[in-house]
Structure 1
Amino acid sequence: MTTYIPQLTLPESVFSSLPASILLPITLGSAVGWSTRLPRTYLSLRQPPLRPPPQVFGPVWTILYGLMGYAAHRAYRLGTSPLNLPSTISAARQGTTLYTIQLGLNLLWMPLFFGWNRPILATVDVLALLGVNSYLAWLWGTKVDATSGWLLAPYIAWLGFASYLSAGTGYLNNWDLSGAYKTADGETKKGKGKRT
């Protein structure tokens, strides 16, 4: 169980505005994605079966970020109505704290995995992300608005798949991602050190 913690929660103005609620995770996620340069590192790693091509991640994450932003807006707007029971208002506010925490965990995964080459921490992060979002979907879905909970279902499913990819890629690369990077001309550079 969690509680509403204003210091750990995005401002109410984000949740009350539909455009802000949707665009904030899309913008932040895109900024992290572009700054980490996924395809170059991604293609040089040994990966488990069923891994998607790098071109899939951008569109999938854009849709998922949009859905999670809409779910947050909807749960906040419907749940904090003064006509609701105090328990519903409390659950909606608790959800905003959980949502903020999960967004932070989400944005941290890519730098952990690709930027800082910490696949174990990244796998722990994505598993925590899966747990927080499962609880958030249950909280909003059962105590605030069923649709808000169901809007998180595709995100939770993708997080389950991402957990498999994170753990599988880490394991297949001996939990060390610094061993191989592709150079600009397509050759593989082995050994630890800076990316070229």
Structure 2
Amino acid sequence: MKNNRILSTALCIGICMLFAYAGSLFTPVAGSWYYTTLVKPPWNPPDWLFPPVWTLLFVLMGVALSLVLEAGIDKKEVKQAILLFGLQLFLNLGWSASFFGMRSPLAGFVEILILWLFIVMTIVTFSKVSKPAAFCLVPYLLWVSFASFLNFVILRLNS
């Protein structure tokens, strides 16, 4: 049973890391001409901080997904939680595509607001299935809240 739990958790983390990788395909490497030309606030985090933070957040997402799945895939609330979780993963990917791929802080801002709402809905739904799973998503919500404000400021500074 313990081996199944470890395997399930690893698989869930792997799925989330695939989304992280897909999002990174839109995200510039440090020094990208587009990103470096944007006016950013002085409190913008250094470029080196983003990869480890996002890696940790995607690992926590995978752990959260695994905890929800443990409650039983046949349960209605688990199915609903998984659906919302999947939608927020795609929205997360959409932010990278909007902000970096389309080179549009405006599209990125609209996208991240929708993402933020889906993260909140996912946390609420996860909490009905597994409180620890919901708790695992709180750092993600906090980071996306910060990123939303940062995106807004970048939009304003570059309009």
> TM-score, normalised on structure 2?
0.87
Structure 1: 5+ residue stretches without partners: 1-15, 83-88, 175-196
Shift of 1:32: 2.6
3-state SS in 2 of match to 1:51: coil
Q: Distance in 2 between matches of 1:76 and 1:91?
A: 11
**More displaced stretch, 101-110 vs 37-46:** 37-46
Shift of 1:154: 0.1
Aligned residues: 151
Q: Distance in 2 between matches of 1:161 and 1:151?
A: 17
Structure having the larger proportion of residues in helix = 2
Q: 1:70 aligned to 2:63? A: yes
Give 1:36's aligned amino acid.
Answer: T
Q: 1:32 aligned to 2:23? A: yes
Shift of 1:35: 4.5
1:86-125 residue pairs with structure 2 within 5 A? 89-125=75-111
Shift of 1:112: 0.8
The correspondence for 2:133, drawn from 140, 148, 154, is 148
State the structure with bigger RCO (CA 8 A, min sep 6), 1 or 2. 2
2:153 corresponds to which residue?
Answer: 168
Q: Distance in 2 between matches of 1:72 and 1:50?
A: 32
Q: Distance in 2 between matches of 1:49 and 1:58?
A: 20
User: What is the aligned-residue identity percentage?
Assistant: 31
Is contact 2:57–2:139 with CA below 8 Å preserved after alignment?
yes
Is contact 1:42–1:54 with CA below 8 Å preserved after alignment?
no
Is contact 2:41–2:153 with CA below 8 Å preserved after alignment?
yes
2:43 corresponds to which residue?
Answer: 50
- Distance change (3 Å), C-alpha of 1:167 and 1:97: same
Shift of 1:121: 1.7
1:4 corresponds to which residue?
Answer: none
